[in-house]
Amino acid sequence: MSSNSAVTAIRGRFLDIQNIVSQAAQITEQVRYIEDGLLITEQGKITWFGSWEQGKNNLDDTIQVDHYPEQLIVPGFIDTHIHFPQTEMVGAYGEQLLEWLNTYTFPTEMQFQDKNYADQIAKFFVNELLKNGTTTALVFCTVHPQSVDALFEAAEQHQMRLIAGKVMMDRHAPEQLTDTAESAYNDSKALIEKWHGKGRNLYAITPRFAPTSTPEQLERAGQLKAEYPDVYVHTHLSENKNEIAWVKDLFPEQKSYLDVYHHYGLTGERSVFAHCVHLEDAEWQCMHDTDSAIAFCPTSNLFLGSGLFPLKKTWEQQVKVGLGTDIGAGTAFCQLQTLNEAYKVQQLQGDKLSAFESLYHATIGGAKALHLDDKLGNFNIGKEADFVVLNLKATALQALRQQRARNIEDALFALFTMGDDRNIQATYIFGRKVYEQETNEKTA
């Protein structure tokens, strides 16, 4: 671990995307690759970034330089949709969404009534994020307010920027897991007052999905959003065909699934909707008009058999999108594995996902989806210093492949196709090294 000193200096190979773009074809122009670079951070923020030659004179002798000559340093990965209480239930067999929720998910989430249990899993969860190079996430907790306390307390240990919230759910779930319109409002309000903007923590109003909230509860969620416009809204949308049909039955007066959320004031620039696999044209338009964001969750959409998300449409319709692991319906914490599946999901639709576009979605694009691109997502001066050191040759097979990489884009694509947590050599949060892999297989 690095010392607690306020200044950190990192030397190595850096790669990031400098700016938000409006079309995928523009990403290449924004790629910034510095083969021998230097990054200086002070009090958690980036104060200098450029080539080692130009920057080395800014360092005085007392500053220790962490040097990674072989590795690749990229901005920390951003996970725009994940459930921390589902950490222990990855790989639950055989069901699609609605049966999977009843059979596996609800019984698992009941355990989080116990604060000690929630603390234990929250610590494991945060460590797992760091081990996988994820430095910011938008997280579902459970219906229990103490599950939110557990998560923010664990994140604070590392000064990690997390967005999270208590699930609101007052119907179609076991009694132990339901609140009421009134108690959900009161509990969420108390949690906003306690956590939102404390350190790097941010709060998300979190109705699970339209089927598990009464109209009264959605109304209360909208009231909260109106009272606290700078908190987030985080929910699920249009993941599974049976789910969509159920929403149409439950809310016959609304034009579409998204229209339910829109009607209650839950769309907007800080609203993130997980999945959006089967959106209708009018819903795409509403996502665009309200500047709402999508969390694309490829491993989950494949695992639950939900469908193929049309990533290309986000560019066509100008809708913000980030990557989500959606643990525990998703099957990996690692954004490298998530990108591997994202590529295949596009292949099955006849589309290409380039390595630089993948990097974009995992970093600055995810930051934009979370309305945090002024703070996160690349190495621009003034941004918060969250980044990952990647070992491109974590296995013998990877080393063989990397030796044949034609250029940085090809090397990155091979990493995104073959990579996992073995490739995460170190993770830095707010300028401090918070994770370093112990047994790094030396194969090169």
> Residues 161, 196, 208, 225: which binds ligand GUN (CB under 6 A)?
208
Residue 328: CB minimum distance to ligand GUN, A: 8
Q: Which does 129 bind (CB under 5 to 8 A by kind): ligand GUN, Zn ion, none?
A: none
Q: Which residues contact 439 (CB under 8 A, 6 or more apart)?
A: none
Site for ligand GUN in 134-153 (CB under 6 A): none
What amino acid is encoded at 31 in this protein?
A: V
DSSP state letter for 384: B
Q: Give the rounded distance of the alpha carbon of 112 from its chain centre.
A: 22
User: How far is Cα 83 from Cα 105, in angstroms, rounded to an integer?
Assistant: 10
Residue 325: CB minimum distance to ligand GUN, A: 11
Q: What distances in angstroms separate CA 368 from CA 7, 202, 274, 406, one per listed residue?
A: 27, 15, 15, 31
Q: Give the rounded distance of the alpha carbon of 67 from its chain centre.
A: 28
Residue 443: CB minimum distance to ligand GUN, A: 36
Residue 134: CB minimum distance to Zn ion, A: 16
Quote the tokens at residue 162. 């997390």
Q: Which is nearer to Zn ion, 274 or 302 (CB)?
A: 274
Q: Which is nearer to ligand GUN, 266 or 411 (CB)?
A: 266
> Residues 41, 44, 76, 83: which binds ligand GUN (CB under 6 A)?
83
Cβ atoms 261, 287 nearer than 8 A: no
| Phi, psi dihedrals of residue 23, rounded to the nearest 5° | -140, 145
User: How far is Cα 285 from Cα 168, in angstroms, rounded to an integer?
Assistant: 27
> Residues 24, 27, 78, 101: which binds ligand GUN (CB under 6 A)?
101
End-to-end Cα separation, the chain, in angstroms:
25
The site map against ligand GUN for 258-297 (x = CB under 6 A) is ----------------------------------------
Q: Does residue number 321 form part of the binding site for ligand GUN (CB under 6 A)? A: no
User: How far is Cα 378 from Cα 17, in angstroms, rounded to an integer?
Assistant: 6
- C-alpha neighbours within 13 Å on the C-beta side of residue 265: 16
Q: Does residue number 14 form part of the binding site for ligand GUN (CB under 6 A)? A: no
Q: Which is nearer to ligand GUN, 12 or 85 (CB)?
A: 85
Site for ligand GUN in 323-342 (CB under 6 A): 326, 329
Q: Which is nearer to ligand GUN, 10 or 237 (CB)?
A: 237
Q: Which is nearer to ligand GUN, 20 or 98 (CB)?
A: 98
User: How far is Cα 128 from Cα 122, in angstroms, rounded to an integer?
Assistant: 10
Q: Does residue number 326 form part of the binding site for Zn ion (CB under 5 A)? A: yes
Strand, helix or coil for residue 16:
strand
Residues contacting ligand GUN: total by CB under 6 A:
11
> Residues 8, 80, 105, 337: which binds ligand GUN (CB under 6 A)?
105
Residue 108: CB minimum distance to ligand GUN, A: 10
User: How far is Cα 135 from Cα 124, in angstroms, rounded to an integer?
Assistant: 15
Nearest Cα to Cα of residue 329 among 94, 136, 92:
92
Quote the tokens at residue 292. 């709402």
User: How far is Cα 32 from Cα 75, in angstroms, rounded to an integer?
Assistant: 12
Site for ligand GUN in 395-424 (CB under 6 A): none
Residue 330: CB minimum distance to Zn ion, A: 8
Nearest Cα to Cα of residue 329 among 100, 51, 17:
100
Q: Which is nearer to ligand GUN, 101 or 392 (CB)?
A: 101
> Residues 119, 170, 239, 373: which binds ligand GUN (CB under 6 A)?
239
Quote the tokens at residue 119. 């603390």
Q: Which is nearer to ligand GUN, 139 or 150 (CB)?
A: 139
Q: Which is nearer to Zn ion, 326 or 386 (CB)?
A: 326
Residue 274: CB minimum distance to Zn ion, A: 5
Quote the tokens at residue 231. 């908190």
Quote the tokens at residue 285. 């338009």
Q: Identify any residues that bridge with 65 across adjacent strands, giving them in sequence order.
A: 9
Q: Which is nearer to ligand GUN, 65 or 98 (CB)?
A: 98
The helix or strand, by DSSP H or E, that contains position 133, with its residue range, turns out to be none
- Residue whose beta carbon is closest to Zn ion: 326
Strand, helix or coil for residue 131:
helix
Q: Which does 118 bind (CB under 5 to 8 A by kind): ligand GUN, Zn ion, none?
A: none
Q: Which residues bind Zn ion (CB under 5 A)?
A: 274, 326
Q: Which residues bind ligand GUN (CB under 6 A)?
A: 83, 97, 101, 105, 208-209, 236, 239, 300, 326, 329
